[in-house]
Amino acid sequence: MTEATAATSRKKNRTTKNGKPRLTRRMVMPDDPLVTIVIPVYNEEKILRTAINSLMMEVSDRFDWDFEVIITENGSTDNTVPIAKELGQRYENLKVLHCPEPNYGKALRQGILAAKGTYVLCDEIDLCDTNFYAEALRILMNDDADFVVGSKLLAEAEDERPVMRRTASWVLNQMLRYGAGFKGTDTHGLKSFQREKLLNVVNACKVDKDIFASEFVIRAERAYVRILEIPISLKEIRPPSIHLFKRVPSALKNIARLSYLMRIKG
């Protein structure tokens, strides 16, 4: 049997007659998962089912580790909740958590604190980047770092988002540098870390909404956690679930609060 034929056979064996994914060893909830994948979602009915089905199959096919996925739904007003519940019934190693308000930071924190994996991967539903998973886990398991950040602002990164979105990321980064003393290139997006070594940092964070992710990275820097940035490829597959300009007032307020906490409170 050729490698291609064997791969096709494996994929067929992973589906039932009605096309639904068949539970494999790694799709049953493990008692002690190596990896937890945390994905906050808000009003993602258009892509949630397809993205999660694809992710579950790709991770199970590509990696030989036990894993769990945590979807942290926060304040959705569309069909995200029933779709997430349906996926939770399909996959034993997928948990659905709820946050009653649209609050990315609170949802991300909730997912991290509920994680059981030795390593935590924080992803976005419109990315599900298993190339990042592979490189980040290689770095962490080789003990080359305790915290890996996927940067879309490194020179080697490929950021194909619209100009306005790329500009907003650059402006946010500059504000964090001058306001909160950030030393890296990116704080928002893909992350992976050793859970036990970062739990105290997570619990020390005070700001939520979009800026929680930034505070998490900055506090890790201040705690002398070994952080390594790696470039990622990023292409927008749908407009943001919350319009960019609607997020500006809240973001500015929380950046000001974070700057105060970092510069004054320490």
Tens of each residue's pLDDT in the chain, 266 residues? 443 444 444 444 445 545 555 555 457 778 899 999 999 999 999 999 999 999 999 999 999 999 999 999 999 999 999 999 999 999 999 999 999 999 999 999 999 999 999 999 999 999 999 999 999 999 999 999 999 999 999 999 998 888 888 888 889 989 999 999 999 999 988 999 999 999 999 999 999 998 999 999 999 999 999 999 999 998 777 666 555 556 677 788 888 989 888 877 66
Q: Is the residue at 3 inside a domain?
A: no
Q: In this structure, is residue 203 part of a structural domain?
A: yes
Measured between alpha carbons, how far is 123 from 129 in angstroms, rounded to an integer?
A: 8
The predicted structure's pLDDT at residue 8: 42
pLDDT attached to residue 147 = 98
Please report whether residue 14 resides in a domain. Answer: no
Give me the phi and psi of 39, to 5 degrees please: -135, 105
Burial of residue 158 (number of CB atoms within 10 Å: 0-12, 13-18, 19+): exposed
Query: Model pTM?
Result: 0.86
What is the rounded distance in angstroms from the CA atom of residue 178 to the CA atom of residue 167? 17
pLDDT at 165: 83
The CA radius of gyration of the chain, in Å to the nearest whole number, is 19
Residue 41 is encoded by which pair of tokens?
């979602």
Contacts of 88 (CB under 8 A, 6+ apart): 71, 94, 95, 96
Count: domains in the chain: 1
User: Around 62, how many Cα atoms within 13 Å sit in the side-chain half-sphere?
Assistant: 14
Distance of CA 101 to the CA centre of its chain: 19
Q: Judge whether 56 lies within some domain.
A: yes
Find how far residue 202's CA is from the centre of its chain: 14
Does residue 12 sit within a domain? no
CATH of the domain at 235: 3.90.550.10
Tokens in use for 12? 């067929």
Strands 94-99 and 119-122 come out as: unpaired
* Structural domain range at position 251: 21-265
> Is 16 part of any domain?
no
In this predicted structure, what is the pLDDT of residue 248? 72
Q: What pLDDT, on the 0 to 100 scale, is given for residue 104?
A: 95
- Domain presence at residue 74: yes
Biggest alpha carbon distance in the chain? Answer: 66
The set of residues, in sequence order, having a beta carbon less than 8 Å from that of 181 and lying 6+ positions away, is 218, 222, 262, 263
pLDDT at 164: 84
The answer to the question of residue 4 being in a domain is no
